[in-house]
Amino acid sequence: MNKTVNLYCLILILIMVACGKNKRPGLSDKELFNLKTTTDTIRQERELIDSVAVESYTPPSGIKYVESRAIDPANPPVLLDLANRKLNIRKFDLSDYYTKVRYIKLKHPMLPSEGNFLFDANYDTGGTSGRGLSSGFSFLKDSIIAGDVYFGYHSYDNEGNFLNTIKTFNFTKAYDVSSNTISYDYNEYVNAINEGRTNNRNNNRFRVNNETMASYVYNWRDSVSNDFLFTFSLKGDTLCRFPNYNPKRNMSKKGLPISWGHPSKLYFYKGILTVNQAANDTVFRMTASNRLVPAYVINYGAHKLDIDLADDFSNKFIPDKWKETENYILFTYNKDRDSPNNRTNKVVTFFYSYFDKKSRQFYHFCEETSIPEQEFFMENQVPDALPFILSFVEIEENQLRVYYSKKRLENIIKNKGFASLSSEKQNELRTIQREYDESEVLIMILE
């Protein structure tokens, strides 16, 4: 089951990462999509710990440049201080950042009984289920690509009109609309996903710009992780090795080490690759093939998670959502481990915060609540916009996009926050929900 989830996440992350650099001329959207789905990697990892800037590292032979992670004196990194619990509380008002709203409706080309866009679906693999499976939506220069490995990736124009099916994977699967559950043959699934791929060492490289490729290789579970990131020329020459400076796991420590963790953050901001290595509290910008500039540092203090911690997470902060725009960063994290049992027992608590770039202030808009992201209701003061649940959101530099299915609209209507809306807005949501069918998705775009 875990392998299935990880493989699915890999494909979606590759789509999202590549979208940040899809402005290269001469490639159609279909070619861009194929490029993304064949560059097969960026590892999903977890955790935190301080990074250490070491400028005296000498790379082995065959590597062209020495790495640098020095601070830029003209642009020192921003400190987000979680150790100081005198929190600065302020409402997160979307109308401070967005003034326009528009809507796009997509309809899946298959009948709901045969396949659909997946929203918060479950896996069913003979007794093991996963939570929160959703389709991916990629906004390219000329089209929108929507879908998943189960029922294919489909292309739409920017108005939401279906164009064609780009890619499907041939394996036995079924979708139960009533229970929102996927079932499939696991062996066929793996064979279909891996068809046409080779296991050579270049598979995990992705495009950084028109001159550079990169490969994220860090695995915090590995007791001998000596490397973090590599860069290469387009011809394949190794340009720079960024060694791992995180502490390594203590394999002699008693008790089970953490078997789960938080994903690394790799995304493009204004065309620049931005990296937050798993188990590291610094967010870097790659400004050259051998240069990582510290942009943000998160100070966890006593709440920092030990990579070898086996039992007590009760006072440890575990980061979750990190979304950067030109005007703000949305940052969510939780205290203690987030699991179904911990949610039921209200052991895990959640924090919702944002950094306002104009004022350079770090705010919390909800402090230590038992409400998880999948239930967190967001009011929306942008004219003609709809409220939403936070987990429905995708944020890029200039846009906030919210994905509504018929079931998700129903969940909003059932949410406690729904009662705070005006009667006019409540009736509007009920009407939209009633008129939609199971094969449609409504996308709200704030700009």
CA torsion sign, 124 to 129 to 130 to 131?
positive
The strands making up 393-395's β-sheet, listed across from edge to edge, are 101-107, 440-446, 400-404, 393-395
SS (H, E, C) 242-261: EECCCCCCCCCCCCCCCCCC
In terms of Cα–Cα distance, which of 352, 338, 374, 208 is closest to 275?
208
For the chain, the domain total comes to 1
How many whole angstroms separate alpha carbon 229 and alpha carbon 286?
11
Residue 255 binned pLDDT confidence (cut-offs 50, 70, 90): low
Q: Flag the least confident range among 202-206, 352-356, 428-432.
A: 202-206
Over 50: is that where the pLDDT of 359 sits? Answer: yes
The answer to whether 160 and 145 have CB atoms below 8 angstroms apart is no
- pLDDT at residue 251, as a whole number: 66
Q: What CA–CA distances, in Å, run from 160 to 104, 145, 154, 303?
A: 6, 10, 11, 45
What is the share, in percent, of the chain residues with pLDDT greater than 90? 55
Mean pLDDT computed over 29-53: 34
Helix (H, G, I), strand (E, B) or coil at 440: strand
| Choice between 390 and 114, residue whose per-residue pLDDT is larger | 390
- pLDDT at residue 55, as a whole number: 38
Residue 59 binned pLDDT confidence (cut-offs 50, 70, 90): low
Backbone angles phi, psi at 56, to 5 degrees: -95, 5
In terms of Cα–Cα distance, which of 33, 22, 12 is closest to 165?
33
How many whole angstroms separate alpha carbon 321 and alpha carbon 138?
19
- pLDDT at residue 115, as a whole number: 85
- Tens-digit pLDDT profile for residues 176-194: 877 888 888 888 888 887 7
- pLDDT at residue 225, as a whole number: 72
- Tens-digit pLDDT profile for residues 221-247: 766 678 899 999 999 899 999 999 888
- pLDDT at residue 232, as a whole number: 94
Mean pLDDT computed over 282-292: 97
Beta bridge partners of 155: 145, 164
Residue 21 binned pLDDT confidence (cut-offs 50, 70, 90): very low
Query: Residues in the chain, how many?
Result: 447
Beta bridge partners of 333: 319, 351
How many whole angstroms separate alpha carbon 209 and alpha carbon 220?
27
Residues 6+ apart with CB under 8 A from 424: none
Residue 196 binned pLDDT confidence (cut-offs 50, 70, 90): low
Q: How far out from the chain centre does Cα 366 lie?
A: 21
Backbone angles phi, psi at 392, to 5 degrees: -80, 0
pTM of the model: 0.83
In terms of Cα–Cα distance, which of 309, 416, 415 is closest to 49?
309
How many whole angstroms separate alpha carbon 297 and alpha carbon 62?
32
How many whole angstroms separate alpha carbon 153 and alpha carbon 80?
38
Mean pLDDT computed over 314-328: 92
Any idea what DSSP says for residue 121? Answer: B
Over 90: is that where the pLDDT of 290 sits? Answer: yes
Whole domain around residue 28: which residue ranges? 2-446
How many whole angstroms separate alpha carbon 151 and alpha carbon 87?
45
- Tens-digit pLDDT profile for residues 70-114: 999 999 999 999 999 999 999 999 999 999 999 999 999 998 778
- pLDDT at residue 114, as a whole number: 82
